[in-house]
Structure 1
């Protein structure tokens, strides 16, 4: 890893990588004990690392163009919190985490809703587990990475992002039950169906740490309490319809219907009906827009333009308030759909979007 050599003057002990992700369907269902269906991107965060004999960590980030050193005696702010949080959570779990020099580079777009933070946590976690020879099974790693983000970095995310970054397989989507953490790798070979998943980074500011994400989670928890259930996964549409508060009713309705859309999508993919998932994607977007109220004009415009240009389905992916849109399109139509979205953005004075084709890829690994 040339960046590591440039910073530290020697080759690293090893190089590890973890991907960003897109969520095919199942938004905000994870922290409601529900179902999600993400897949990993080819975009990855790469970590070169060398073990040290002292409990100290020095981290250089190419993206931040900054180097920090910490020893957990004080809390680490900013981007470093995602690294320090991993060290902290491993130590809290009783592991003897080795000190290390680390160099980090990434091509996962920042602020686009593609889980750049989970990719960073997962890559660092994988590196430290290997460096220290820690006995931490792969299926237990996402929970610790999530805990690092929740309790150290202060982002109340569910477990989907870390699960996708660590556990996904190439050519598959990860069907995850967020209550039991059981997974099923669902074949998602869009190319063999003559299709492609076009990701459109709307470049709309994606900032949900500031409170809107947390507010949605709090609303869901309040609705579950009002309904007398452990989580919204455990309720029904008819029960939700009786909630007296209109906002809570809409928030809960999104979760209940979104969980069903995930299950229906999985059923279609199991039977090879890839094109048929399009209407479920579009319905998901409508629910996020109208009931959960987490879309912004840029993502709504991208969805409308993609559908008008022939996409079989389109939806925002990620926590909301900006970020990316997924469109299921004919493989021969990616340029056509991307051009239609760009034209719609130009007409509204938005910054040009950045499209790319997403190929379901593998999770965290040593390179």
Structure 2
């Protein structure tokens, strides 16, 4: 099925899959179930690791983790998406001792220790994970998993860490254990999201503000086009963009590109080579677009942010060069079909595009996208709507 016309996702289904999977794997019922959403970044791409501004919201597609106590110091992890079960002693978990999908939950265990958890004085756990966040789609399935596990262990072990700190835990796990040089956007979105709202996050101070979106009230929805062009943040393109940003900041004599403003760009163009300048220009203009989007939502409503979404995509396509033909086609087709605005979302090099559209136009734009991909010879995308939803929580 290539198209799903409505979101209609029931968190109870994912929780049940985690709980039932736990029973099948471990022969007993779990002590609890926690879940966290994937995220759509409405605007603010690659700004997070430059100490900038981002504006994501939580998806109504979630990852759930069922947890059961053990009487030793072993952690076992299993999932509904892999036949593998991994078992390891708490004192053996290091960035070099885990690999594959289990690096995400086990990386969180290791990262919690870096934030003060005394793993010598906690008992091991059995974990079973179920997810309906698409993998490789730019919707942050990894952060959903990390955030659900971090919240579960924080509560179960009585660690007392707040949510911004748990976001840092997830980021550290992803950077050091998984090996992906991502910023803090995804974990913050998954942990801090609220229903019908976006999370306006300052990635330098980690101050956050929940901004009502009022999409449903304005008759709007977010259409996601998953191109099925898989991306992997642990490989080259993402790391190369981050290195360019760091090089640009050094050449301009600033701590990070957060400290470069629009009126600094003429000077930057004179100092930097063309490619580095374009990378810097994307970050500087994208930071401004995030601020403008939040202000516009507050002052004029969601119908008024379309031009900012469109400009964000053009900047990622031309200056940051992280789009691909499938993403460009999805965006252009949605725009031509009457979308308020459209852009790729996530780290790039594949993944998903999003379009803010009037609900009445969803069927027509969906069909137009499917037809455009078929005509271009691209793989059939999956097209579905999403609803801004609640962040990580205990469900049972």
User: TM over 0.5, yes or no?
Assistant: yes
Normalising TM by the smaller chain, what interval?
over 0.9
- Alignment of structure 1 residues 207-356 onto 2, 5 Å: 207-236=232-261, 237-356=265-384
2:187 is the counterpart of 1:169: no
Rounded Cα–Cα distance in structure 2 between residues aligned with 1:40 and 1:187? 13
Note the C-alpha offset of 1:19: 0.6
Normalising by structure 2, report the TM-score. 0.91
User: SS at the partner of 1:79?
Assistant: helix
Query: How big is the shift at 1:207?
Result: 2.3
Contact kept, 8 Å, 1:96 with 1:132, in 2: the verdict is no
Aligned pairs (5 A) from 1:33-182:
33-71=51-89, 72-73=91-92, 75-97=97-119, 98=122, 99-182=124-207
Q: How many residue pairs end up in the alignment? A: 367
Counterpart in the other structure of 1:204 = 229
1: CA distance between counterparts of 2:375 and 2:250?
45
Deviation at 1:138, TM superposition (A): 1.8
Deviations 1:60-87 (A, max 9, x none): 1111222111125261111111111111
Structure 1, unpaired ranges of 5+: none
Q: Aligned to 1:162, what secondary structure does the other structure show?
A: helix
Q: Which runs of 4+ in 1 moved over 3 A?
A: none
Moved more, 95-104 or 4-13: 95-104
Secondary structure in 1 matching 2:109: helix
Shift of 1:96: 2.8
Deviations 1:261-283 (Å, cap 9, x if unpaired)?
00000001112421110110010
- SS for the counterpart of 1:242 is helix
For 1:141 and 1:281, the matched residues in 2 are separated by: 29
After TM superposition, give the deviation of residue 52 of structure 1 in Å.
1.7
Q: Does 1:364 align with 2:383?
A: no
- 1:175 CA displacement: 0.1
Task: Determine if contact 1:224/1:232 at 8 Å carries over to the other structure.
Answer: yes
Q: C-alpha distance in 2, partners of 1:12/1:239? A: 59
d(CA) in 1 for partners of 2:100 and 2:84?
A: 11
Q: Which of 25, 28, 32 is residue 10 of structure 1 equivalent to?
A: 28
Q: Give the distance between the partners of 1:272 and 1:151, measured in 2 at CA.
A: 42
Secondary structure of 1:213's partner?
helix
More divergent stretch after superposition (205-214 vs 162-171): 205-214
Write out per-residue CA displacement over residues 13-70 of structure 1, whole angstroms, 9 at most, x where no aligned residue: 0000011001000000000000000000011110000122322100111112221111
Output the CA distance in 2 between the equivalents of 1:291 and 1:41.
28
Matched, 1:19 2:37: yes
